Structure 1
C-alpha cells in the first residue's frame, strides 16, 4: 500500500502548486487536491503582472524576494516565467510609489518621458503625465507556470474535492474528500473562494470579501511589437483610474482589466447582475481611447472571482488552527512562489513569518 503523503494541500491554483513544489524542494511529500483543472479558478488567464510597486514597503520587500524565487524556478523548470519587458505605471500614485521602491533599494525603477513611454508601450496613446518604469517587472507567463509546476508535481495532484477537514485531536489532520478520507501531519488550504468556508469548519472566521472581476483580451493591430511592457494606469486621462494590462506570449494579444470589482452577496449571487456587463463595456471604452494599437473588439473574455482582504487590494494573510493553515488575499499570483515557500516552512513546523499573520495586515499602507 502506498504511503500517505505528509501534507495535504487544498487547491491547485498557483499558490497551492507553489506550496507543494516548495515542499518537494525540501523532500516533503504532499497531495494536492483540486476539484477541477489545475490553475483554472482564480489563477485563470494567460498573463498577470509581476510588479514590485506596492503602498506597503514590507510587501515591496516580499515581492523583491519573490522575484528571485521566480528566477530560480524558471532556471530549474527550463521555462520563461516572467517576460523581460518591464512594467509601466502612470498617474498620481507614481511619485510616492517611486519613493518607496527607491527607499527599498535593489529594484531597477525610474521615471520615463513620453518618448521612452512610447518605445516601451508602442500600443499606447499619447500621454505626458507622471510615468515610471520597473525594469525587473514583466508579464507572468501564467499557463507556462501552472503547467510546469503541475508537471513537476506529477501524480501528487489529484482530481478530488475537499468537503471538510479538521484536527483529529492526536496531532494529525483528517481530510474528507468526495472520494476519500485520509490523515496528514498538517494541511495548507489555498482554495480561493472556498478557503473561508473550509476555515469555518475549524472555528475560524476569515474576513474575505468575495467579488467578481472582468478581464478582456484584444488583438494587436498589425505585426506584434518586439517589446511591450505591462501597464498600470491610474491617471484618469482615458476615463479610468484603475487599469492594468499585460501582453500574451508573443505580444500578439493584450489583456486589459479594471481594478474595480462587482460585490456579491454571501451566497455568491449578484445584487446587480448588470454591473459585470458594465465593467466589460468600460474596459472596451478604455481600450478604444488609450490603446489605439489594439483592435477594440475583444477576442477573449475572462470573468472570475476575487477574494480580497479588508485592509488592502494587495493584502494577504495566513490563519492557523491546529496545524491547518489557510492562505487568503488578492493579487497573489506574483507573490505565489515566495508565499509558497513560507507556507511550506510553516507546514514543516517552522514559525510562520510574522508579516503573514493576520494582525500584521500585510499590504496595508504604513
Structure 2
C-alpha cells in the first residue's frame, strides 16, 4: 500500500467507497474497514434510481454534482455507473418539482403518453402528468461497488471496528485484530454509525426502518430503453412506487416507499409488515406493468436510516477528528458527498451545507414531506 494511511473510513457501502476513492483522488492514503462484503449492507441490491427531483434546491444541486462524478469515475474506471435511459415520474408532484429542476439546469420536461410509452414500454396505458428527467437512470450498483472496491486493493481491512476515540490530535480505531491511529476518521457504517457515535458521546437523531424490493422478469424481448419509474399518481392503486432496470433490461425491480418501523435497538416492531409490502408491490405490477411477469425472481430486504426532517434528509456530524455522515437515499448523493467528506478528512472545513443545522433535504413545505418520527 505504500505510505501509512492518514485517514480511516469505517464501512464499505457506497458512501464509504466514494469517500475512499475521493481521498485517493486527492492523494490522501486511506484504510477502509469492512467486516462483511462491500456494498452488501444498506447499499445492497441490484439497482437504485438516479433522479434529480427533490424539494430542496440544495439537494438538486448536490445531485447534479454526483451525476457529474458518476460520469467521470465511470469513464476513468471503464464501467457504466448510471444508465442513459432517463427517469420518469408520474403524478402531480412530478409537475410541481419540474420548475425547480428547469431553473437549476436539469434536462427535465413534461412528456405525453406517446413519449412515455417509448421510454417506458412496460407501463400500462397512462395519460396523466408525466415528467422525464433525461439525466436520470438506473444506477449500476454491482458494477459500481466492484469498480470502487477494486481500486482499494489492500487498503481494505476485513475486520469489525470495536471502538473509536479521539486521542490528542489523532483518532484511535480498534478493530478485532489491530489498533491504529489516524488524522481523521469517516464513519460511514450505515445502521452501525449511530452505535459508534455513542462511544464518543454523540447521539445521531436517526430512525431505523426496513423495506423490501422485488425484481420481476421482463416478458419477451428486453426493451432497448427502459427508464426508471417513480409513481405518486395513484392511478394504479399506489402513491409511493419506485423502480429501476437491472443491466440488460431483462428484469425490473420495484418497491414501495413505505417502510416497516423499527425500535431504538433496530429490532423490527412487526416483521410481517415486510410481507405485506411485498404483496402490495406484486399487486401493483399486475395492475401497472403488464410487460412484467408478476411472480418475483428476486427479493431484497434492506435497512434504511432516516433523519427527522425528511426521507431525503442527510447531514454530517463532527466530533474530535471524526465525521459521521447519515441519511437516506444516499446512492444518488454518494459521489458528491464522498468528495466533500474527503475535503474535510484532509483537514479542511466541512461544507456548511452538510451540518445538521442546515437540514439538507428538508421539504419546502410540511405538506410535501414524508417525515418519520
TM over 0.5: yes
What does 1:25-64 correspond to in 2, within 5 Å? 25-64=25-64
Give the structure 1 partner of residue 327 of structure 2: 329
CA distance in structure 2 between the partners assigned to 1:38 and 1:150 by the alignment: 7
> Where does residue 73 of structure 1 map in the other structure?
73
Question: 3-state DSSP class of the match of 2:296?
Answer: strand
Aligned-partner SS, 1:298: coil
- Structure 1 residue 268 displacement after superposition: 2.1
* Contact residue 4 and residue 184 of structure 1 kept, 8 A: no
Cα deviation 1:32-57 (Å, max 9, x = unaligned): 00010100001111111111100111
Distance 2:179 2:270 in 1: 40
- Tell me how many residue pairs correspond in the alignment: 364
- Which stretch of structure 1 is more off in the superposition, 265-274 or 298-307? 265-274
CA shift, 1:65, in A, is 1.3
Q: Is the contact between residue 58 and residue 363 of structure 1 (CA under 8 Å) also seen in structure 2? A: yes
- Partner deviation per Cα, 1:170-229 (whole Å, 9 max, x = no partner): 200000111111111110000000001101111111011100010000000001001110
Distance in 2 separating the partners of 1:191 and 1:4: 22
| Whole-angstrom CA distance in 2 between matches of 1:144 and 1:268 | 29
**1:3 Cα deviation from its structure 2 partner:** 5.0
Quote how far apart the aligned CAs of 1:128 are: 1.1
Counterpart in 1 of 2:280? 282
Shift of 1:297: 0.2
What is the TM-score of this pair, normalised by structure 1?
0.98
Matched, 1:157 2:156: yes
Deviation of 1:129 (Å): 0.9
Contact 1:262 1:276 in 2 (8 A): yes
Measure the CA separation in 2 of the matches of 1:278 and 1:365: 28
Counting only pairs closer than 5 Å after superposition, residues 261-272 of structure 1 correspond to structure 2 as 261-272=259-270
The residue correspondences of 1:76-225 to structure 2 (distance < 5 A) are 76-105=76-105, 107-168=106-167, 170-225=168-223
Which consecutive residues of structure 2, in runs of 5 or more, have no partner in the other structure? Answer: 365-373
In 2, distance between residues paired with 1:29 and 1:70? Answer: 21
Unaligned runs of 5+ in 1: none
In 2: Cα distance, 1:73 partner to 1:273 partner? 38
8 Å Cα contact 1:166/1:173 also seen in 2: yes
Query: How large is the Cα RMSD of the aligned pairs?
Result: 1.0
SS at match of 2:66: helix
Measure the CA separation in 2 of the matches of 1:64 and 1:273.
36
CA-to-aligned-CA distance 1:259-289 (integer Å, 9 cap, x gap)? 0000111222222221111001011111110
Contact 2:209/2:268 (CA < 8 Å) preserved in 1?
Answer: no
Kindly state the Cα deviation for residue 365 of structure 1 after the two structures are TM-superposed: 1.9
Structure 1 Cα separation of the partners of residues 77 and 4 of structure 2: 26
Aligned to 1:333, the other structure's residue is in SS state: coil
Structure 1 runs of 4+ with >6 Å offset: none
Of 289, 306, 309, the residue aligned with 1:308 is: 306
Using the TM superposition, give the Cα deviation of residue 239 of structure 1 relative to its aligned residue in structure 2, in angstroms: 1.2
Secondary structure of 2:84's match? coil
Give the deviation of 1:311 after TM superposition.
0.6
Which structure 2 residues correspond to residues 325-364 of structure 1 after superposition, within 5 A? 325-364=323-362
Equivalent-residue separation in structure 1 for 2:266 and 2:203 (angstroms): 17
Contact 1:31/1:156 (8 A) holds in 2: yes
Give the Cα–Cα distance (whole angstroms) in 1 for the partners of residues 220 and 340 of structure 2: 44
Instruction: Give the Cα–Cα distance (whole angstroms) in 2 for the partners of residues 100 and 329 of structure 1.
Output: 22
The question of 1:9 aligning with 2:5 is answered no
CA distance in 2, matches of 1:272, 1:23: 41
CA distance in 1, matches of 2:190, 2:4: 25
Distance 2:270 2:190 in 1: 23
